[in-house]
Structure 1
Amino acid sequence: MFARQSVARVATQQAYRRGAAPQNARNMATLREIELRLKSVRNIEKITKSMKMIASTKLAKAQRAMIAGKQYGIANSEIFDHTPSETPAKRKLFIVISSDKGLCGGIHSSVSKATRRAIADTENPVDADSPIMVIGDKSKGQLARVLGKNLALTFNQIGRDIPTFADAAGVADLIVKSDVEYDSIAVVHNGFVSAISYEPKIVQVANENTFKESPGFRAYEMEDDVTKDLAEFSLANAIYAALVEAHACEQSARRNAMDNASKNAKDMIGSLTMQYNRGRQAAITNELVDIITGASAL
């Protein structure tokens, strides 16, 4: 056995002197690369599993907040049902709700596509220059590439945690105080269908002029401040209901995305492990062939 190892060592030294690399050098490099990839994929799997657990915990809290926040939307819808618009709106303000965070699938692109479809809709035409206000940097970047001239106002750092009514009231106050002209308001956000499904939806919100022109409100003598305050409060209600529902959709989508990423990492680990084992067996076989060949040469 010692003689065989000596022969193999001598053959390796002679190959180095001639400037040639050993036969298994390429296999060793490949095995090293596979080992490094295995290590990195295992680390990624740990991260995605942790993010999935965090998203699952946040999803439960977001669903409770969404159920409570929907009461605001129900109250709004009851008011809007009694304030039908007599004239169709041409210049509509689109309030797009997303977030600043990624790693949650196509949840941001869904509201961006819904906004573009609503502006390009031929059955319900609106002004091509209708203003757009975006909550969240992700959809802002997507819409800026296509409808950059329509962007009037953007918000960020909202919804990092569960949204509150104070966040919605602050956004509504800035919208009302802005100099943007519009005939009606449409809030575009993701609607929660189930823990694994969501779909974009558009909620129509009545503005101050709609309240003034409504037959139900004209029957009463009201000061201008009343309809103005009611319009701002209704807008805040609608934004808050959309924020909490969009937040629940985001956590659900992030949980599903991290679950899929963990499964893909697991499959990749299995494939790389098999490839590593085959390469190691091939390297051992080559070494045995070299030893046997050297022993036969003696």
Structure 2
Amino acid sequence: MLSRAVRPALKAGAAASVRPVAAPAATFATLREIEQRLKSISNIEKITKTMKIVASTKLNRAQRAMTESRQYGKTSNTVFEQAETKPLESEGKKTLIVVSGSDKGLCGGIHSGLSKQVRRMLVETPDADIVVLGEKCKAQLSRSNGKNIVLSFNNVGKNIPTFAEAQAIADQISLLPADYASIQIVYNKFVNATSYEPTPVEAFSEEAIKESPNFSAFEIDDEVLTNFREYALSNTLFWALAEGHACEISARRNAMDNASKNAGDMISKYQILYNRTRQAVITGELVEIITGASASEE
């Protein structure tokens, strides 16, 4: 049996143990977490705004390069249109799909759109070979159609494409052992600053050019025909790379703009939550001080 003198002390200790002492500490921890979250979101907002500014400055140069590259592609297309060139449908010959992507991300669904377009094309020609420009589309297509990839290039899309780069890629494609009846280049066509669409364009084979109905009007020798075909392939690749680069810069600017707006909305919400939580902590401390003062007076 405990003495009567000890019982009040036990009751006071029990009451103190029941009192929620951990609540203020948890509230302060929550305040620190909210403050850290606010700092991290603010840093992200600074980064996205900076990337948007950089993309905006690069977009003008990319659009100028795209406009200049279209002259290369239109020149080849004019020859093929006047010659009425059409792709051949030869049995036993494959189709080659060249995907004009890049290595950079943070630009929305621009790469996934190309991959989806290629997968739709592979439904019609499942045995087609694929040449991928850029690591992003390569990573996406390797998961679903890795066996179709015969050649890939990296370090693509870091700077504005040049004709020398397109010519080097065309040389490597020409060295592939297979004889292709059709070569289709899939690229992002620039519609405007906010939209683009994956578009395939035909790069005709040497046999298709030779069998064109009106090709004899151009008086091109057979010895020059191979060089003309490689030059036309380089023109089309340069056009596709430059147009895809402009689409990528535009998409990155839009993506960073949306990310900055979302970060601003999150900062506003967390700032309100921080203020409310801080006010609750202050109110709780005032209640404890008043309660303690009242208890001491009694």
Taking structure 2 as the reference length, what is the TM-score of the superposition? 0.89
Offset of residue 212 of structure 1: 1.7
Matched with 1:178 is: 176
1:194-221 Cα shifts (integer Å, max 9, x gaps) = 1111111110111111112222235677
Please say if residues 80 and 205 of structure 1, whose CA atoms lie closer than 8 Å, have aligned partners that are also in contact. no
Asked if 1:27 is matched to 2:27, the reply is yes
Alignment of 1:235-254 (within 5 A): 235-254=233-252
Deviates more, 1:147-156 or 1:220-229: 220-229
Partner secondary structure for residue 96 of structure 1: strand
> Structure 1 residues 78 and 255, CA, compared in 2 at 3 Å: closer, same or farther?
same
Partner secondary structure for residue 183 of structure 1: strand
Partner secondary structure for residue 24 of structure 1: helix
> Structure 1 residues 23 and 118, CA, compared in 2 at 3 Å: closer, same or farther?
closer
Asked if 1:46 is matched to 2:46, the reply is yes
Please say if residues 51 and 258 of structure 1, whose CA atoms lie closer than 8 Å, have aligned partners that are also in contact. yes
Percent of pairs with identical residues:
53
Please say if residues 152 and 180 of structure 1, whose CA atoms lie closer than 8 Å, have aligned partners that are also in contact. no
Match of 1:229 among 227, 230, 235: 227
Task: Name the CA distance, whole Å, in 2 between partners of 1:141 and 1:34.
Answer: 37
Please say if residues 138 and 152 of structure 2, whose CA atoms lie closer than 8 Å, have aligned partners that are also in contact. yes
Offset of residue 20 of structure 1: 7.2
- Output the aligned Cα RMSD: 2.1
Offset of residue 76 of structure 1: 1.4
Asked if 1:103 is matched to 2:106, the reply is yes
Provide the aligned length of Structure 1 versus Structure 2. Answer: 280
Task: Give the partner amino acid of 1:112.
Answer: S
Asked if 1:60 is matched to 2:53, the reply is no
Please say if residues 161 and 241 of structure 2, whose CA atoms lie closer than 8 Å, have aligned partners that are also in contact. yes
Match of 1:143 among 136, 141, 144: 141
Offset of residue 88 of structure 1: 2.9
Q: Which has the larger radius of gyration?
A: 2
Please say if residues 44 and 265 of structure 1, whose CA atoms lie closer than 8 Å, have aligned partners that are also in contact. yes
Matched with 2:130 is: 132
Deviates more, 1:246-255 or 1:172-181: 172-181
> Structure 1 residues 254 and 131, CA, compared in 2 at 3 Å: closer, same or farther?
same
Offset of residue 222 of structure 1: 4.9
Offset of residue 112 of structure 1: 0.7
Please say if residues 99 and 187 of structure 2, whose CA atoms lie closer than 8 Å, have aligned partners that are also in contact. yes
Alignment of 1:1-298 (within 5 A): 21-81=21-81, 82-85=83-86, 87-88=88-89, 91-121=94-124, 126=125, 128-218=126-216, 222-298=220-296
Taking structure 1 as the reference length, what is the TM-score of the superposition? 0.89
Please say if residues 103 and 257 of structure 1, whose CA atoms lie closer than 8 Å, have aligned partners that are also in contact. yes
5+ residue gaps, structure 2: 1-11
Task: Name the CA distance, whole Å, in 2 between partners of 1:259 and 1:86.
Answer: 42
> Structure 1 residues 164 and 87, CA, compared in 2 at 3 Å: closer, same or farther?
closer
Please say if residues 63 and 246 of structure 2, whose CA atoms lie closer than 8 Å, have aligned partners that are also in contact. yes
Please say if residues 191 and 201 of structure 1, whose CA atoms lie closer than 8 Å, have aligned partners that are also in contact. yes
Partner secondary structure for residue 214 of structure 1: coil
Task: Name the CA distance, whole Å, in 2 between partners of 1:87 and 1:77.
Answer: 17
